[in-house]
Amino acid sequence: MRAAVVTISLDLSTKSTGYCVWRDQNLILYGTLVPGNLEIGKRMGYIKTCVFALVKAHEPDFVIFEDYLLSLQSKNINHVRALTQVAELGGMVKDTINNDSTAIIVTYSIPDIKRFATGKGNASKITMQNALPDGYTYKKEFGDGVVFNTDDEVDAFWAGRIFFGSVRYRTFYSEKQKVGS
């Protein structure tokens, strides 16, 4: 039996974190982690605990998420505060994965993910949703295939998809198939 490459892709947020779990390039699980109206530290703890549970349950080879560093150039103080909180959450999640898992962490800039999905590095949420391939829809009442319920799930989907086109993934996949056969 060949060995599968397991990947978890995340759209980290302190209010609503989207996730996708992939076996090879097949989406096997997706959802949104919503911590509710807790204070910021408790929300971060909730997301970190949930991501840890996903990592433990699926034992991924890779965990993919957005790199927020380039987004911190905003002059809007509320935007900077929110991005700083997400960057802190990202650090907590990275620390948990590095200490408790063998998964390799890969990050992509938000513009790179948007450009991959739509051809534009500043694409809107609606444009990202409309770019979903056949078999994937967003908030469609009666859809065939996968129906994402939040834009966070859509963003996590695209974070996974950009990775599958990388040399790093293809090389790892090829090597794992040799070992697993």
Q: Which domain holds residue 20?
A: 6-176
> In this structure, is residue 83 part of a structural domain?
yes
Q: Name the β-bridge partners of 66.
A: 108
Going by pLDDT thresholds of 50, 70 and 90, the confidence category of residue 70 is: low
What is the DSSP secondary structure assignment for residue 106, as one 8-state letter?
A: E
Burial class (CB in 10 A: 0-12, 13-18, 19+), 23: middle
Q: How many domains does the chain have?
A: 1
Give yes or no for residue 114 having a pLDDT over 90: yes
pLDDT digits (tens, 9 = 90+) for 38-69: 999 999 999 999 999 999 999 999 999 988 76
pTM: 0.90
Give me the CATH number covering residue 61.
3.30.420.10
> In this structure, is residue 181 part of a structural domain?
no
> In this structure, is residue 1 part of a structural domain?
no
> In this structure, is residue 41 part of a structural domain?
yes
Give yes or no for residue 74 having a pLDDT over 90: no
